[in-house]
Structure 1
Amino acid sequence: MDTPANTVTAAIVVIGDEILSGRTQDTNSGDIARALGAVGIDVTEIRVVSDEEPAIVEAVNALRAQNSYVFTCGGIGPTHDDKTADAIAAAFGVGIDFDERAIAMMRERFPNPADLNEGRMRMTRIPFGAELIANSVSKAPGFHIGNVFVMAGVPSIMRAMLAEVVPLLRSGVPTSSESLRADIKEGDLAMPLAALQKQHPSVSIGSYPFNDGDRYGSNLVLRSRDTHALADAMAAVEAMLKTLT
């Protein structure tokens, strides 16, 4: 599918050794991608990196130069292996320290000073120049600096932060989609679909095989920002399928 020069794009960096080890399944990237897609922002890449500062810095710097936005999730908690805030500060070449705004947010949940211990105070360290992202679940904030939005790894908290972030973004033209099931094996569809893709360059045509018991077939998904082009391509696919059944 052709990509207009003014398309708004984003990349996602999922941070955490627990994701790489398979102990925890990432759901955040899917939630972020769906929320961005709804406002016309294309996700171009999703990376999973370890809880190591150099890996986070490299990924963030590479992706923020290539995309309108970068979203990170994970690594801003209270433990020693939560290194994302320091890595983002390093990526932007700025300092980091306890932030009075973040401390005030944390005090809403922990009014007893003794409860705001060293671990929890780690979550109030914010890179210089960053703006905070409110957290209605546990109060510990995320932050954004430049075009990078840094959010928690706990899915419920990430979603709360994402709800705060999406209205701040420059939106694009949402992509519409159509889908249909074809009881035709993918190998038999490959060449006809390739020909249709060439005829409808502004529409992305995807084929995804399925096995329904003894029956093999393909789910076809068409996507485009141009609803008229999408309708034309859908009609062409339906006509093509009739010739194969």
Structure 2
Amino acid sequence: MKSPDKIWTAGLVIIGDEILSGRTHDKNIAQVASWLQVQGIRLAEVRVVPDVQARIVEAVNALRAAHDYLFTTGGIGPTHDDITVDAVAEALGVPVVIHPDARALLERYYADKGGLNEGRLRMARVPEGSDLIPNRMSGAPGIRRGNVILMAGVPHITAGMLDALTGKLEGGAPLLSETIGCWVAESEIAQLLREVEQAHENCQIGSYPFFREGRVGANFVIRSTDAEDLASCVHTLCDGLATSGYDFTPGGI
């Protein structure tokens, strides 16, 4: 479902002491952002919070009010510190219940793995009124209630849940991008970048400097939801670089 004239946004809450301590490196921000772009939704805000229920509640309420969608990763597993379901239920003002379909899924999954014990049953808990997100990687499903979507923190399981959501969310036109690379200090062409962006109001230009081979350079990423506007902006930027005497590389360096 697409609404091309509206800019749809999402917030993401990354939950886990292991992320904040540095023991685990987060890989979900990039993959969630990339997936959202294809759905026509922009990841507009990210918060990383500890395994503290009050902090999760605060973040969930703030971001779900500010954006069209709120995603969480982490904290929906079988252990005592997996408290995301409890926190989201508190934020939404609903009780936590055992989802019968989730229980049935887990019973089948663990039938030859020792059965459904108390810890495993925790993964069938949802905020009342929730729907399930299929999880082809393991038995425990993701959870969706309204504009709030709860996913696992393990990146390959997160990816599977995102795949199951593909095409299921209302969004706008996908965000398109082109990259131009140039061996130039961005400070030397800051005025050019500003003028080109101002001349193409439906486009944004991001400048990403680097230092390689003893030289400075930058990749310029042009983004727009309109293919014609994007092409025009890229052409204007390339023409400006050439006129200023700089070689450039389509696709980036």
TM > 0.5: yes
Whether 2:44 is the aligned partner of 1:35: answer no
Provide the C-alpha distance between the structure 1 equivalents of 2:137 and 2:194, rounded to a whole number of angstroms: 48
Structure 1 position 134 matched with structure 2 position 134: yes
Does the alignment pair 1:59 with 2:59?
yes
Between the aligned partners of 1:215 and 1:73, the Cα distance in structure 2 is 39
Map residues 89-238 of structure 1 onto 2, 5 A cutoff. Answer: 89-111=89-111, 115-238=115-238
The C-alpha deviation readout for 1:174-233, integer Å capped at 9, x for no partner, is 121111111111110112211222211211011111111211111111111121111111
Preserved CA contact (<8 Å) 2:5 2:172: no
Structure 2 distance, partners of 1:114, 1:210, is 53
Q: Distance in 2 between matches of 1:121 and 1:197?
A: 53
For 2:233, what is the secondary structure of its paired residue?
helix
Gaps of 5+ in 1: none
Cα deviation for residue 113 of structure 1 reads 9.1
Give, as a single letter, the amino acid of the residue that structure 1 aligns with 2:69: Y
Deviates more, 1:85-94 or 1:225-234: 225-234
Instruction: Give the TM-score normalised by structure 1.
Output: 0.94
SS of structure 2 residue aligned to 1:167: coil
* Shift in Å, 1:5: 6.4
1:8 paired to 2:8: yes
Q: What per-residue deviation string (whole Å, max 9, x for no partner) do you get for residues 1-32 of structure 1?
A: xxx86222111111111011111111112111
Verify the 8 A CA contact 1:36 1:166 in the aligned structure 2. Answer: no
Rounded to whole Å, the distance in 1 between the matches of 2:126 and 2:207 is 45
Q: Which runs of 4+ in 1 moved over 2 A?
A: 112-115
- SS at 1:216 equivalent: strand
Length-normalised TM-score, structure 2: 0.91
The residue number in structure 2 matching 1:26 is 26
Write the distance in 1 (CA, Å) between the matches of 2:137 and 2:68: 28
RMSD: 1.5
Q: Which amino acid aligns with 2:17?
A: D
Structure 1 residue 114, shift from structure 2 partner = 5.1
For residues 65-114 of structure 1, the C-alpha deviation after alignment (integer angstroms, 9 at most, x for no partner) is 11111111100011111110000100100001222211101011112695
- 2:202 & 2:34 partners in 1: Cα distance? 21
Percent of aligned pairs sharing the same letter: 45
Aligned match of 1:85: 85
Structure 2 spans left out of the alignment, 5+ residues: 246-253
Paired with 1:198 and 1:54, the residues of 2 have a C-alpha distance of 43
SS at match of 1:174: coil
How many angstroms apart in 2 are the aligned matches of 1:5 and 1:60?
27
**Which amino acid letter does the alignment assign opposite residue 22 of structure 1?**
G
Counterpart residue type for residue 97 of structure 1: V
2:143–2:150 contact (8 Å) kept in structure 1: yes
SS at match of 1:116: coil
CA 1:207–1:113 in 2, change beyond 3 Å: closer, same or farther? Answer: closer
